């Protein structure tokens, strides 16, 4: 056997081993379950009524009604391939005494960390999240995240 064939065979074996290890590592992420802690400032969790909307096999669940202190939301899936865009809508009374809503579309999946869709934090406007300031989602541990909602 000449040296080129030996080097080619060696590279092929190394590639196959690396691919096998990568697939074994990736399978550890699915199914997954992420916890998102909602921390409220200037309001109680009880001031909000949640609506959870799953997407593409990515489930989102939590208490209803929300507890007065921090609330834990769970985003989970058996989906081993694709991302999903579950949404959390919070209904509440705004400063004018009218009903308001804040919809946060998230992205999560077996190959993604929990975040807002396209990394875009909901910006308060008269039609969504009025009188609220939404923080970025921060990772606090393995499959653990936090989000602060401040009522202005």
19-26 contacts, C-beta under 8 A, 24 or more apart: 26/110, 26/111
pLDDT score, position 12? 47
Tokens of 88: 């959390």
Q: Model pTM?
A: 0.78
pLDDT score, position 2? 64
- Using an 8 Å Cβ cutoff, are 70 and 39 in contact? yes
- Using an 8 Å Cβ cutoff, are 121 and 147 in contact? no
Pick 32-151's CATH classification: 1.25.40, 2.60.270, 1.10.357, 1.10.10. Answer: 2.60.270
d(CA 69, CA 47): 11
d(CA 34, CA 45): 20
Indicate the domain borders of the chain: 1-29, 32-151
Grouped pLDDT means (10 residues each) for the chain, 152 residues: 54 46 44 94 95 96 94 91 94 86 94 92 92 96 96 89
- Using an 8 Å Cβ cutoff, are 86 and 53 in contact? yes
């Amino acid at each position: 056997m000449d040296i080129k064939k030996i080097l080619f065979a060696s590279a092929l074996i190394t590639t196959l081993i690396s691919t096998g290890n990568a697939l074994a590592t990736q399978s550890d992420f699915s199914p997954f379950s992420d916890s998102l802690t909602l921390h409220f400032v200037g309001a109680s969790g009880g001031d909000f009524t949640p609506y959870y909307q799953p997407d593409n096999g990515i489930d989102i669940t939590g208490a209803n009604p929300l507890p007065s202190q921090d609330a834990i939301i769970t985003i989970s899936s058996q989906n081993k391939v694709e991302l999903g865009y579950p949404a959390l809508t919070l209904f509440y009374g705004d400063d004018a005494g009218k009903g308001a809503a804040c919809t946060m579309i998230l992205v999560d999946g077996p190959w993604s960390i929990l975040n807002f869709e396209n990394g875009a934090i909901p910006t308060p406007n008269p039609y969504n999240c009025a009188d609220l300031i939404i923080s970025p989602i921060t990772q606090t541990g393995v499959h653990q995240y936090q989000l602060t909602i401040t009522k202005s």
